[in-house]
Structure 1
C-alpha cells in the first residue's frame, strides 16, 4: 500500500516527539531526584557510597581507556554493570561477593593489569576487594572518563549519543537485528577526547547523525516482524493473543495505545510519560488515516521509537564531590 503522502507529516511528528523528549530527558533519566543526589548517597549503604566515590572513579581512571564499550579489549567492557558481570573472552570480570573468583581482582591484585601502566596502589586494591566482597553494587548507568577525578558536580545532565559500538549492541539486544555493517557505513566515526570515545564532550549530535539514525531506523524496522515484536512486548495477555493471530488485527485506539506503550517501554528502557505516548500515537494515527494496516502503523511507529532521543542518547551528569545520583529501578534493570 502506498503511504508516501504521510511521510512528510511523519517526519514532522518524529521531530516534535524528539523535542518533547529532549525537554523532559533530564528529569526522567534520574527520576526527578537530581537536586537530592547528595542526600540520597549519604543515606545509601557504605558499599554504594564506596562505588560512587572510589570504584567508579578508579575504573574510569585506570580501566576504561582499554575497556569501555568502544575499545573493549579482550571483549571486556567495564563501563556498564551487565557488561562487567558478563565479562570478556576469559569469563566474568566480577563475581559479586567473591573477590577471589573475580578475574578483575585476580589481574589487578597480581599487577597484571592495567597493562603497561603502573599497578594499583594498596589502598586502591583494598577498596576494589571490599567493593566486590560487599556484592559489587553498581548505582550508575554508565561510567565514562568524566568520572575519573571523582569530583562530579550536581547540575543539569549532559546528553551524549551512543557510540557506534554502543548503538550496534543496543540495537542487537533490543531488537535482535544485526546492523553493524550498515551502522559503520552510515554513522560518522566517533571522535576521541582525552583518549576516550564515550564522553558527552566527544559525542555530540550533528545533521549527519540525525540522517543516519533515520536511515538505520528504516532498515531495522524493515528487517523485523513488527507484529511478533509487538506481541512479545504487549502489556497484557489479551493484546498479546490478538497480535499473535495469523492475520494482522485491527486495533481500536486504546489497544493501539497499549501496543505502542509496550514496544516503547522496552526500546526506551523504562516507562513513558503522557506526552511521549501521545507523540507516538499521533504518528500511528497518521499512518492509519492514510490507509495503513496494523503492521504498517506499527512499523512507522517503530521507526519513530528507534530514532528518538531515548533510544540513541544517554544522560551524564557532573556530580558534587563525594556525591552521586539516585538511579530509578528501571535504569538499574536495563
Structure 2
C-alpha cells in the first residue's frame, strides 16, 4: 500500500470503496471501508493523489484529505462514466475514477471552501422557501376562486388575505383554514426576508461581493451566488471557461469540417444561469438609461439579432465580467462616455 501514488474513491453514505494504483497503473490494493476506517487508512498513507467524483460530501472530504497532505482532485460524474469497463459495481467505479484521473487532458473540479459551501446552503434554502411561498399563494388563489373570489396576480393581496376574507361571506370553517394558510405564508415570507438580510450582511463584509455589485443590474442574490460558485476564479483558464461552465456558450455539433453552433449548452448551475439571464433582461429593459461601451455593444447587437439572443449574449458577457473582477481584483467600469453622462 505504501507504493500507491493514485487512490480512487467511490463515495457512499456509509461504505466507501477504494482502488489504489502505483506509478505504472498497476493495482496495489482494493478495499471496502467505513468512513472512520477510510480516514485512518488514508491518514497513514504517504502523500499521494486522491481522486473522487464531485458529488455529495466530496468537498468536505477533500478538505479533510488535503489536511493530511494529499493532493485531492474531483471529477464530474459524466467524465467518469466512459471509463467504466464491463458490468458496473463500486470497485469498478473506483477503478474508473483512477483511469479518468490519469488522462492528461482531464478537467477537474476545484474543492469548495467551507464558506462557499455555507453560502450555497443559504441560497438553496432561500430557493426552497421561495418555491413554498409561491405554492402557498397559488393555493390561496385557487381556494378562493372555488368560492367565486378572484384575486389579481401577485403576492401583495395574499399578504392582506384577512382583509379580503372580511369583505366576503365565506363558511366559517373555510375562513379558519385560509387564515391558517395565511399564517404559513407570512412565516415563509419572514424567513425569506431574514435570509435576504443575512445575505446583505455577508456581501457587505465580503470584498469580492461588493465589487461584483458594481456590474449593472446585478443585485445581492446574483453577486452572492457568484461568490459561492466562482470563488477567486483561479480554477478557470479564462473568462470564456467560466461562461462555458455556467452553460452560456453555444452547444457545438460540428462534423465534416463544417461548424454547426446550436443554442446555449445549459451546463452547470442552472440557478446561476437563470439569475444572469434575468439580470440581462433587466439591463435590456432599461437600455435607454444605460451608457458606456457595454450599452453601445448591446444596442448594435439588438439591431441585428432577436432580443432572446441578445439576452443570452449579455448574460455571457456578465459572466465574463464577473470572472475578470474576481481574477484581476478590479471593479466594473462603464467607460468614459458613461462617466461623462
Larger gyration radius, structure 1 or structure 2: 2
Structure with more of its chain in strand, by fraction: 2
Greater relative CO, 1 or 2 (CA 8 Å, sep 6+):
1
